[in-house]
Amino acid sequence: MKVGFKKSHIRLGVVAVALAAVGVLVATNVATARTGSGCGTVTLNEQAWAGSTANTYVAKYVLEKSLGCKVKITQIAEIPVYEALAHAKVDAVLEDWQHVDQYKQYATKQKSVVIEGSNGVHGHIFWGIPDYLMKQYPQFKTWKGLKGKESIFKSPESGSQGMFLGGDPSYVQKDAQLIQALGLNFKFVSVGAESAQTARWTQLVKQKKPVLFYWYTPQYLNAQYHIVEVQLPKPFKGCKDDAKAGGAVAQYKCAYSTYPLEKVFGSKFAKSGSPAVAFLKKFSWTNDQQNTVATWIAGQHMKPDSAAEKWVKANQAQVNKWLGK
Amino acid sequence: MTTVDEVVGAVPAPVVIDHRPWWRSRAVLSALVVVGMLVGYYAAKGKYTWPAALEWNSLTGHLDSFQIWLSDQSNAAHPNLFFRVVTGISSGLDTLVTWIYDALTKLTWVGTSFVATLFAWRFGGRRAAVFMFTGLATFAAFGLWDDSMQTLSLVLAAVGLSLAVGLPLGIIAGRSERFDRAITPVLDAMQIIPAFAYLMPVVILFSVGPGAAVITTMIYSVPPAVRIASLGIRGVPANTVEAAQALGSTGRQLLLKVQLPLSRRMLLLAVNQTILFALSMVVIAGLIGGSGLGDPVTNGLNTNPAVAILAGAAIVAMAIMLDRVTEAIAERTDPTRRHLDDAGRRRLRVTTAGVVVACLVAVGVGIAAHAGDIYTRFTIQDWLLARIQSVLNYIANPSTFLFQHITNPLGNFLTQHVLLPLDTFLAETPWFVTVAGFVLIAFIVSGLRPALVTAAMLALTGFVGEWQPAMDTASQVLVATAIAVLLGIVLGVWAAESDRVSQILRPINDILQTLPQLVYVIPFVYLFPISYVPGLIASVLYAFPVVVRLVERGVRDVAPQSVEAAGAFGATRRQVLLKVKIPLARDAIMLGVNQGIIMVLAVVVIAGLASTPGLGYEVVQGLQRNEFGLGVVASIAILALGIALDRVTRGTQGNRRAREDVS
C-alpha cells in the first residue's frame, strides 16, 4: 500500500508538470489575443420566436458590417432578460411584447432599463380560424356566429363542448375570460409552448378540420397558412387584455388591442454614447419586412446570418436611414 | 441516468415470503379502498371541492412582493454588502467557466482533441480513448464544436464545484446518522422542485451568464454526490470498521485509511452520476445565459426543430462519452484490481512521458498550423439536418398510416378512456374521500408514519390553493407510472433472462435518460395531437428505463439456490420465472414503481410546456409571465405530491430497513 502511494505521487508529479506546460501555453496565447475595435461589443438578446430572430440578426449584420462592432447574441428567456439588462449583461432587446409590469418595475422605478420606443412592428392578437372554415360558415365572421355552433370544434379532451386552443402561457391572453363573458360553450384547452400549439393546429388544418385558436401577427406561418380573424366585440374604455390583472370577466369583453412592439435598452448601454446606440434607436421596419426575413429563417431554414445579409443588401436605402447617412 | 437506489443494488429478496391469506394481501386491501373511493365519487360527484376556507390565498402575493423587493435591492445604485458578495461570487464563477472555455479553445481544436483522447487512453485504456475520440468527432461532424465546448466547460465547472461541496457533505452524512436525516429532505427538495421555479431568484442574485448557470446546475447535481458518497461510506462493512477501531485507529485514520479507500468505487460513481445530472440541466441553464448546446435546443424549437434535435443528440453524445470514460477510469485505476510489477510500472512511466510529449506536440502543431480555436471545417450538419427534417415531415403529415391508424387512435383512446375518467374521478370525488383513500393505501402499503406524512402533504397542496391542478397532475402521474412500470417490468424481466436484450437496452436507456425531453416532446404533439398525451409519453420514456434497470437487477439478483432448487424439482424455465424469480424480486419491482413515480414527476414541468395542464403548466407560467408566487406555490404542490406518492408506494418499514442494510 505504502509503495503504491509513493508511486502515485510520482505519477501525480508528471501530470502536474504536463498541466503546468499546458498552462504556460495557454497564458502566452491569451496574452497575444486580439483587441476589439472602436464600437466595442454589443450584446443583443434573441427571444424564442422567429420575428425576434429576424430583428436580431439584421441588426447584427448592420452593426458588424457598417459600424465595426462585435456582436454577441444571447438567448435568455423573456422575463429574466430584464435582470440581464439591468445588470448590463445584455445591452438591448429589439422586440418586447408590452411587459407592462416590467416597464413599471425596471424602467420607472429602478431606472435600470430604458424603453426606447417601437421597432415599427405592430403586434395583434386575435381569435383565428382557417379560411376554408370561414368559407363554409360565413357566420363565423363575428363571435356571434360561433354561438350554438361550438360543438363543431369538439376534440377528444373537450367533451361535449367545443375546444378553444389557447396560446403559449408566456403570452398576454384573456381567452378563458372572454369565453365566459361572451357566454360561449367552449372549453379552454391550454396546450403549452407555442411550438406545441402550432403543431396542434397545423395538424388539424392539414386535415381540413375545424379549429379555433389564439393567434397573432406578425407571424411567419401566416404566409403559409391562411388564418382569418373572428371579430370580437369592439374595445371600450378600460377594457383589459391580460387576465393577469384579475377582476370581473365583463372587463375583458372586447377584442385585443394592437400593440406597438418596443425596443428595450439597458440604462448603461443607452448612456454609453456608442454609435450602436444611435443606430439601434433608429432601427425600425414594418410587419411585412420582418415577416419576409422570419419566413426565410423559420420557413425555409436559411441561416439567420445569410437571411439578414440578403435583406440588408436588397434594402440598402432603409439601412442607410438607420445609420443616419 | 441511474438513481441512487439503483446504484446501491436492488433490494435483496427476503428469505421467507410472508404468507398472508389472499384477502389480506396489500393489493386486495388497496383495491377495497379504491372501491370505497368510487362509492364516495358516485355519492357526491363534484359536490365537495377543496373548501376556500382552508386555502391561504395571500401566499402568492407575498412571494411576488418578495421578488420585487429582491430585484429593487439588487439593482439599487449602491447595493448592500450581501448583494456585493453575491455579485462577487457570480463573477468569480463566470471567470472560472470562461477560463476553462478559453483553455479548451486556445489549445486549438487539434490540441484539445489530442489532449482529451490521450488522457482518456492513459488513465482509462483503449476503450475510454475510443469513446472520448468518438464523442469529440461527433461534435465536430455535427458542426456544433463551439456549443459543445461551451457546454463542456460549464459542466466541468459545475461538476468540480458540486463534488467539492457534495463529497464532504456526503462523507459527513455517511458517518453521522443525525446529519444524514437532517440533510435528506433538503436533498429531496433540491431534486424535485422544478428549476423553472427558482430561475428568477437565481437571476436576480447572480445575474445571467455562466455563473448563474453553474449555480442552477449545482442545485440539481449536488444531491447525487452527497447521497452516493454517504451510501459509499455506509457500505463499508461494519466489522472492518470495528476491527480498525479495535486496533486503535483515530477517527481521522479510520476515515482516511479505511472508509475512503474501501468506498472508492462508490465515490467514483458519485463523480459519474454528478456529471450526468449536470448534463441534464444544460437546456435550463441555457435559458439564463449558460450558452452552449442549450441554446440551439430552445431556439430551434421555434425556428428549426431539426437543429434542436441535432443539438439534443450532441448532448446525448457528451453524456455517453463522459459516462463511459469516467467508468473506464474508475475500473482501470482501481488499486484492488491492479497489481503492477516493477517492469509494469516502468512501462507505465514511459507511457505517461510519451503521452505528455505527444500532447505538447499536438498543441504546438495545432497552434503553429493555425488550426483555429474551434473546429469549423467539413461537417455533415446540413446532410443530417435534411435527414432529420424528412423524418419530421413524415411525422407532421396527418395522412400517413402511422398517424391515421396507430398514434391518433391510441392518443384518443388514452385520453377518453383512461386519462379523462381518472382525472374526473380524482377531481370530483369529495376531497376528504380522496385524502382518506390515499392515506389508507399509504397505511396498508407502507405503514403508519408514511400514512401520516401523506395526509400532511395532501393537506399542504390544498392549503396553498393547488388542489385542483394537483389532482390533474396526480392523474397523469399515475397513468404514466402505470405504463412505465408495465413496460419496465416486461423489458426488465426479459433483459434479466437474455444478455442480448440487456445489451440492446443499455444504450437505449442511456439515450432516453439524457436526451432533453423538449427535443422530442414537440414531434409527439404531431403524432398525438391531444393535450395530455405528448407529455404523458415523454414521462413514460424518461421513467421506464429506471424501472427496467431496477427490475433487471432484482430478477438477476434472486439467489441462485432458489432457482437451482426449483430446477431440481423439475420446474420449467417458465415456471421458474413466474413462480420463483418474479415473486422473489417483488420488492425490487415495488422499488421500481416508487422510483418510476419520482422520475415521472421530474418531467411534469416539461410536460406542461407540451400541452399538459396541471402543476407543470403553472410553474412554466410562473417563470414566463413573471408570476413568481404562482410558480413557487405550484412547485411546493409538486414537491408535496411527490412526497405523498413516494410514501404511498414506498413499502413497509421492513423493506426500507432491508434497503438501508444493503447500502
B33 and A CB contact within 8 Å: no
B71 touches chain A (CB under 8 A): yes
Query: Sorting pLDDT into bands at 50, 70 and 90, what band is B319?
Result: very high
B554-563 average pLDDT score: 82
| pLDDT single digits (tens) B144-157 | 999 999 999 999 99
Q: Is the separation of the CB atoms in B114 and B137 below 8 Å?
A: no
Residue, of A136 and A18, whose pLDDT is higher: A136
pLDDT for residue B571 is more than 80: yes
CA distance B61 to chain A (A): 12
- Compute the mean pLDDT over every residue in chain B, rounded to the nearest whole number: 85
Q: Is the pLDDT of residue B341 over 80?
A: no
Name the most confidently modeled range: A280-284, B529-533, B541-545, B653-657. Answer: A280-284
**Do A102 and B626 make contact, defined as CB atoms within 8 angstroms?**
yes
Q: What percent of chain B has pLDDT over 90?
A: 27
Contacts 24+ apart (CB under 8 A), A256-260: A256/A124, A256/A125, A256/A126, A256/A172, A256/A174, A256/A232, A258/A122, A258/A123, A258/A124, A259/A97, A259/A98, A259/A122, A259/A123, A259/A124, A260/A117, A260/A118, A260/A121, A260/A122, A260/A123
Residue of A nearest to B421 (CA): A157
Over residues A160-189, the mean pLDDT reads: 90
d(CA B92, CA B75): 19
Q: Do A80 and B287 touch (CB under 8 A)?
A: yes
Q: What mean pLDDT comes out for the span A101-113? A: 91
Q: Can you tell me the distance from the alpha carbon of B423 to that of B622, in angstroms, rounded to the nearest whole number?
A: 23
* Chain A residue whose CA is closest to B345: A7
Mutate to test the interface with A, among B105, B119, B204, B626 (most CBs of A within 10 A): B626
Kindly list the residues from chain A whose CB atom is less than 8 angstroms away from the CB atom of residue B396.
Answer: 199, 202-203, 206
What pLDDT is recorded for position B263? 85
d(CA B259, CA B613): 48
- Residues of A within 8 A of B626 (CB-CB) are 79, 99, 101-102
Q: How far apart are CA B468 and CA B480, in angstroms?
A: 19
Which is more confidently placed, B5 or A70? A70
Q: Which of A75, A109, A190 is opposite residue B286, by nearest beta carbon?
A: A75
| Collapsed DSSP state (helix, strand, coil) of residue B306 | helix
Residue B244 in contact with partner chain A when CB distance is under 8 A: no
Task: Determine the average pLDDT of the residues in A276-287.
Answer: 94
Determine the Cα–Cα distance for residues A66 and B118; give it in Å rounded to an integer. Answer: 45
Q: Where are the alpha helices (DSSP H) in B447-466?
A: 448-463
Question: In A, which residues are within 8 Å of B613 by CB distance?
Answer: 189-190
Percent of all residues in chain B with a pLDDT value above 70, rounded to a whole number: 94
Distance between CA atoms of A217 and A140, rounded to whole angstroms?
20
CA-nearest residue to B261 within chain A is A1
pLDDT band at B657 (very low <50, low <70, confident <90, very high): very low
Q: Which of A15-19, A96-100, B642-646 has the lowest mean pLDDT?
A: A15-19
Residue B82: how many other CB atoms lie within 10 Å:
11
Is residue B334 less than 8 Å (CB to CB) from chain A?
no
Cis preceding linkage at B523, omega within 30: no
- For B89-139, the pLDDT digits (tens) are 999 999 999 999 999 988 888 889 999 999 999 888 899 999 999 999 999
Query: Where is pLDDT greater, at A278 or B506?
Result: A278
B98 to chain A, any CB pair closer than 8 A? The answer is no
Under the banding of pLDDT at 50, 70 and 90, the label for residue B661 is very low
Closest Cα in chain B to A169: B621
In whole angstroms, give the CA distance from residue B123 to residue A18: 14
Higher pLDDT, B573 or B336: B573
The pLDDT, as a whole number, for residue B611 is 63
Is ipTM > 0.90 here? no
**Gyration radius from chain B CA atoms:** 26
Site from A5, A6, A9, A25 to mutate, B interface, most B CB atoms within 10 angstroms = A25
DSSP label at B610? T
- Say if the Cβ atoms of B200 and A105 lie within 8 Å: no
Q: Which of B430, B4, B413 is nearest to B228 (CA)?
A: B4
pLDDT of A18 reads 56
* Contacts across the A-B interface (CB distance below 8 Å): 207
Name residues whose C-beta falls within 8 Å of residue B597's C-beta, 6 or more positions apart in sequence: B477, B481, B543, B642, B645, B646, B649
Residue B186 has pLDDT above 70, yes or no: yes
Q: To probe the interface with B, which of A2, A34, A56, A75 has the most B CB atoms within 10 Å?
A: A75
In angstroms, what separates the C-alpha of B123 from chain A's closest C-alpha? 11
Fill in the amino acid letter for A180: Q
Taking the C-alpha atoms of residue B142 and residue B136, their distance in angstroms, rounded to an integer, is: 10
- Write a three-state SS string for A213-234: EEEEECCHHHHCCCEEEEECCC
Query: What DSSP state is assigned to residue B407?
Result: I
Average pLDDT, chain A: 86
Terminal Cα distance for chain A, rounded: 78
β-pairing verdict for A113-130 and A258-266: antiparallel
> pLDDT grade, residue A282 (50/70/90)?
very high
pLDDT tier at A315 (50, 70, 90 boundaries)? very high
pLDDT at A9 over 60: no
Q: To probe the interface with A, which of B525, B539, B619, B627 has the most A CB atoms within 10 Å?
A: B525
Phi and psi torsions of B620, nearest 5°:
-60, -45
Look at B360 and A21 and tell me if their CB atoms are within 8 Å: yes
Residues of B whose CB is below 8 A from A204: 529
Helix (H) or strand (E) holding A122: strand A113-130
Convert the pLDDT of each residue in B589-638 to its tens digit.
Answer: 777 887 788 788 888 887 877 667 788 888 888 887 788 888 899 999 99
- Stretch (H or E) spanning B31: helix B26-43
Burial B436-475 (b: 16+ CB within 10 A, else e): bbbbbbbbbbbbeebbebbbebbbbbbbbbbbbbbbbbbb
Contact B345 A155 (CB under 8 A): no
pLDDT of A65 above 70 = yes
Mean pLDDT of A228-249: 88
The single-letter code of the amino acid at A244 is K
pLDDT at position A21, please?
A: 54
- Residue A35 is predicted with a pLDDT of 37
Q: Is the CB of residue A284 less than 8 Å from the CB of residue A55?
A: no
Residues of chain A neighbouring B624 (CB-CB closer than 8 A): 77-79, 168-170
CB B440 within 8 Å of CB B644: no
Mean pLDDT of A252-279: 92
Chain B residue closest to A45 (CA)? B289
Q: B357-392: per-residue pLDDT in tens?
A: 888 888 888 888 887 788 888 889 999 999 999 999
- Compute the average pLDDT of residues B5-23: 52
Instruction: Say whether residue B613 is in contact with chain A using an 8 A CB cutoff.
Output: yes
Nearest-neighbour CA in chain A from B75: distance (Å): 7
Closest CB to B623: pick one of A17, A77, A244.
A77
Model confidence pTM above 0.90: no
Gap between the Cα atoms of B233 and B172, Å rounded:
9
Instruction: Say if the Cβ atoms of B420 and A157 lie within 8 Å.
Output: yes
Residue A220 CA to residue A107 CA, distance in Å, equals: 31
d(C-alpha B647, C-alpha B593), whole Å: 12
A77 → closest Cβ in B287, B303, B398: B287
Confidence band, pLDDT 50/70/90 cuts, at residue A168: confident
pLDDT bin (cut points 50, 70, 90) of residue A2 is: very low
